[in-house]
Structures are given as structure tokens and as C-alpha cells.
Amino acid sequence: MSDTIYALSSGALPAGLAVVRISGPRTAEVVAGLCGVLPSPRQAVLRSIRNRNGDVIDQGLVLYFAAPASFTGEDCAELQVHGGRAVVNAILSELEALPGLRHAEAGEFARRAFHNDKLDLVEVEGLADLISAETEMQRRLAQEHSSGHLSAIYEGWARRLTHARAMIEAELDFADEDDVPGSVAAKIWDDMRNLKVEIADHLEGAGIAEIIRDGLKIVIAGEPNAGKSSLLNHLARRDVAIVTDIAGTTRDVLSVDLSLAGFSVQLFDTAGLRETDDRIEQEGIRRARLTMDQADVILLLADTPEGFAQLAGFDQGKPIVRVGTKIDRAPLLWDKASASADVLISTVTGEGIERLIEVVTAFLPDLSGRNALSLPTRKRHVSCLQQARSAIDMSLTQSNRGLDIQAEYLRQAGDALGRITGRVDVEDLLGVIFSEFCIGK
């Protein structure tokens, strides 16, 4: 943390613009050496950036942020220069030659922001998700987290737990003081019951968050030559899978990522399901069934009404959409048995594709009326929340074992919430006690 670090913070080169970020105790000295004069904090100025010999490397905008009013909480600067490889490499080489400077490690700027209390762990994760977001819903979810809205919820819950523990500790340790009313702990149990319900309701959104962040997993399954690979290629609008008239062409699981109604959708093409002696095809079918086990929705394809019997023995509680294919070849056949399929399509003419997309879209989460996306997105969030809820429940049910045992369970609940944001401060307890009671006067 005593080193001054630097790195290219913008995208791949070449580019119209490149941003070189510097952070650490020597930032002001470095910027003054490169640009001649240190700019006023938080003002963009046009400067010539020179090497040690005084030769101009490039002209660009220079911004200086004095600690603690910066992203990392340290002295920080940005050099916004032309995004040519030679320009950027020359600047990085110049920084590398300066004593006390080193190239930043992966995520080190954000790590310093965390250590300097500029970001908590949820905000750091949200920032990473915002950078990698590919769909509108992923952007909204990441923005909610990186802006601190989700952290504010967890910190509010942690304050309520701290307050509850303070009331219990006050009754246990300072019951003889005039400023501490009797049975003050009894007032906090209704709030703890409400908090337990709030955490449980919050956990119910984990499934929605998983779909937003990781995508809805849709598996295309069915008998060989039913048109699975053709459908994958049609929806992806490119040739992802090989399509032939030979049964068993697809032997491995292929996947593409699509954006549908602002959500990410993972579409999987699988081997045709049938009895076979071909060992390679058997392995493909095994992988197909394994992928189906992990699916959110299964599109079961058949080019004849009788083909849907292929999955008659497969029942994993997954939503299944029966899709009749190749209706351009045998329209009369499907007219007589249209009730056997949920959707009829042709990848040749495009008929029924829009209807299929409407059916698939119905499986996406309904976020209408939801103004915020403060949802737990990672397994560690869910695990810590479950621990907190269980600890609160244990505290509520252990009334016969004494207030000290109940307070310990509330401490565990608070620590579990603190692990989500990375902020577990035991000194908060004393602060609440001495701020709410005039103990010792």
C-alpha cells in the first residue's frame, strides 16, 4: 500500500483515447515531473507529457485528485492521451523507470478503494459486474450494487442488530443504572422477528438475480434430425452448429449467449436422444441429459407429432415447451395434430419463430413494478444471509437460555451481514451503548 502504482485503465489498444491511471503517495511528484506543473485538484488541463530528456511523448488531458477525494482514497491522477500503442508504451516505460513506482496488479485500484473505505465488497463486485454487463438487466443490477443501494440495506439491518445487542448488553451489565429502564431487551424482539422476515423475503430474489446475472439456461433437446441445430443457428443468426441430414451429427453440447427482452439467455444445442450402440454418440447423449438437468427451460423438438415420446421417461420438474418443427415440409400432418405441440415453427420460412420467442420470454422474471434491483447476486451473499437469518431465529428461540446466549446469536448474525460488505466493526456496539444511555454519569 506504500507503493505508487500505475496501469492502463481503458480498453484494448489501439483506440481513440487511452487512460493511464496513477495512485499512491508519489502521484503528485510523478505528475509534476511528467507535465511540468501539477494541475489544481479535480480540474482537467491540457498538458504536454514529457520523458526524462524533456522530449514530448504526447499531449493530453491531465487530472489530479488529492486524497482522500479520489477513487482509491489516495492521491490519484489520470493521463488521458491518444490511444496508440507507441504512445501508451512510452508513457508506461517512463513510469516504470521512476523509483518507487510499479505496475498495478489485477484489481489493485479497487482493492485500495476498499481498504480506504471508498467501496465495500458489494460495491466492488457491482463495479466488476458493471464493466462486464452485456444486457440491460445486467447493467441495471450492477448499477444498483455499485452505487451502494444494496450495501445500504445490509448496513441498515446490521445497525438494527447492533442496537438490539446494545439493549441486551445494557440490561445485563447496567441494570442498576437509573438511565437504563428495566426489561429494555423485551422491546427489541418484535423488530428481530420483522428482520428475520425481511431477510427471508430478500433471499427469495436470489433466483431472479441469478437469471439476470448468469442468464436463463434454455436447452434444445429432442430426437435426432428434429431441427435442433437449425433452430440454434436461426436464433443466433449465424452458423454455430453443423447442420446435415445425417442423424447424430451433433455429439457435443454447443451454446450461444443471446439478449432477450434485456435479459441474458444461454441457449444450448444437444445431441439427439435415442438408443444407439455408438460409444461417441452415447457420450453425447449423456452430456445432453446432464445439460438438461441444469436447464431452466427445455425446448423439446420433434418433426412429427409422435416424436415427443422421446422424453416420455424424462421428468425432472423442468418446464418443457414442445416445439413442432419443419412445418413447411408437412403442414397437413401438423394441422391434424397441432394440439400435440405448444409451438409450430419452420427455420426455413421463419414461421412460428416470433411465437416461440414470446413463449420463451414468458419464463423470464417479471420485473414490472420493481423500481430497484437490490437482490443478492452471488452465492456468498446468499450463504451469509442464510447464516444471519438462522442466527436470528436461534436467538428468538433460545429465550429460556438467557439474554447472554441470545445476544451471542445476534452477534453472529451481525458478523454474517458484515462479511457480505467486508465491514465487521465490533466497536460499533460500545458506540451505541454509550450514545443512547448516560451510563456512568
Q: Nearest CA to 168 among 190, 184, 180, 156?
A: 184
Contact (CB, 8 A) for 18 and 88: yes
Contacts (Cβ under 8 Å, ≥6 apart) of 44: 61, 62, 63, 80
Equal CATH topology for 149-205+375-436 and 215-361:
no
Sheet of strand 4-8, all strands in order from the earlier edge strand to the far edge: 45-50, 56-65, 76-83, 15-23, 4-8, 101-103
Fold category of 4-113 in CATH = Gyrase A; domain 2 (3.30.1360)
Give the model's pLDDT for residue 28: 96
What does the pLDDT read at residue 377?
87
| Chunked mean pLDDT (size 10), the chain, 441 residues | 89 91 96 93 95 94 96 95 96 94 89 89 88 88 91 93 86 62 69 94 90 88 84 79 50 78 87 76 80 88 78 70 85 69 88 91 78 83 94 90 88 92 60 44 38
Tell me the pTM. 0.78
210-224: buried (b, 16+ CB within 10 Å) or exposed (e) per residue?
bbbbebbbbbbbbbb
Helix spans in 238-347 (H): 279-293, 331-336
The confidence score (pLDDT) of residue 131 equals: 86
- Alpha-carbon distance of 11 to 373, in angstroms, equals 28
Rounded to the nearest angstrom, the gap between the alpha carbon of residue 272 and the centroid of all alpha carbons in its chain is 34
Cell of 157: 439491518
Which of 301, 281, 311 lies closest to 234 in space, CA to CA?
301
Sign of CA dihedral 419, 207, 365, 361: positive
- The CATH code belonging to domain 215-361 is 3.40.50.300
Residue type, 295: A
pLDDT at position 430, please?
Answer: 45
Report pLDDT for 341: 83
What is the SS3 assignment for 358? helix
In 49-148, alpha helices (H): 85-96, 108-115, 121-132, 136-146
Nearest Cα neighbor of 139 from 148, 131, 150, 147 is 131
Domain ranges of the chain: 4-113, 149-205+375-436, 215-361
Q: Return the pLDDT at 374.
A: 87
Domain 149-205+375-436 annotated CATH 3.20.20.10? no
For the chain, report the end-to-end CA distance as a whole number of angstroms: 43
Maximum pairwise Cα distance, the chain:
93
Report helix, strand and coil shares of the chain as percent, to nearest 5.
45, 15, 35
Q: Which residue has the cell 499512491?
A: 24
pLDDT tens by residue, 84-114: 999 999 999 999 999 999 999 888 888 898 8
